[in-house]
Amino acid sequence: MNIREIEQLLGNEADSLLKHQPKISRERLHVPGPDFVDRVWLNSDRSPSVLRNLQLLFNTGRLGGTGYLSILPVDQGIEHSAGASFAPNPDYFDPENIVKLAIEGHCNAVASTLGILGACSRKYAHKIPFILKINHNEFLSFPNSYDQIMFGSVKQGFDMGAVAIGATVYFGSEESKRQIQEVSHAFQLAHELGMVTILWCYLRNAAFKTKDKDFHFAADLTGQANHLGVTIQADIIKQKLPTTNGGFEALKFGKTSPEVYTKLASDNPIDLTRYQVANCYMGRCGLINSGGESKGAGDLAEAVKTAVVNKRAGGMGLISGRKAFQKPLKDGVALLHAIQDVYLAKEVTVA
Q: Which residues are catalytic?
A: 238
Contacts of the segment 263-269: beta carbons below 8 A, 24+ positions apart:
263/23, 264/23, 264/24, 265/23, 265/24, 265/219, 266/22, 266/23, 268/16, 268/20, 268/22, 269/17, 269/241, 269/242, 269/243, 269/309, 269/313
One DSSP character per residue, 244-261 reads B--HHHHHT-S---THHH
Residue 148, SS3 per DSSP? coil
CA atoms of 177 and 239, how far apart (whole Å): 19
Residue 22, SS3 per DSSP? coil
The C-alpha angle 84, 130, 345, rounded to 5 degrees, equals 85
Looking at residue 5, its amino acid is E
CA atoms of 109 and 107, how far apart (whole Å): 5
CA atoms of 208 and 98, how far apart (whole Å): 33
The C-alpha angle 245, 286, 97, rounded to 5 degrees, equals 105
CA atoms of 49 and 162, how far apart (whole Å): 13
| Other C-beta atoms lying within 10 Å of the C-beta of residue 333 | 20
